[in-house]
Amino acid sequence: MFVCMCMAVTEAGIRACLHAGATTTEQVSERSGAGTGCGGCLETVELLVEGGSILHPDTEPRRGCRLPRSA
């Protein structure tokens, strides 16, 4: 699923950056490009860096997220 539409970065791409050693939102952005366009996805990138899930059934997508809400 896309997290950053501007730079076409998926959740899997962000998780790959984290697996490769990125530990901050800034490092993920530098490596993947996520958040370097309009910046609307930065809160979602931060959520993933902190170990969260963008599709947890009990939460809404964070402000600025361009992902569709799950049914």
How do residues 20-71 score in pLDDT, each as one tens digit? 999 999 999 999 999 999 999 999 999 999 988 877 545 544 444 444 444 4
Q: Which domains, and CATH codes, for the chain?
A: 1-71 (1.10.10.1100)
Handedness of CA 16, 28, 11, 38 (dihedral sign): negative
Predicted TM-score of the model (pTM):
0.74
**What are the tens digits of pLDDT across the range 3-20?**
999 999 999 999 999 999
Question: How many Å from the N-terminal Cα to the C-terminal Cα in the chain?
Answer: 15
Residue 56's pLDDT is: 58
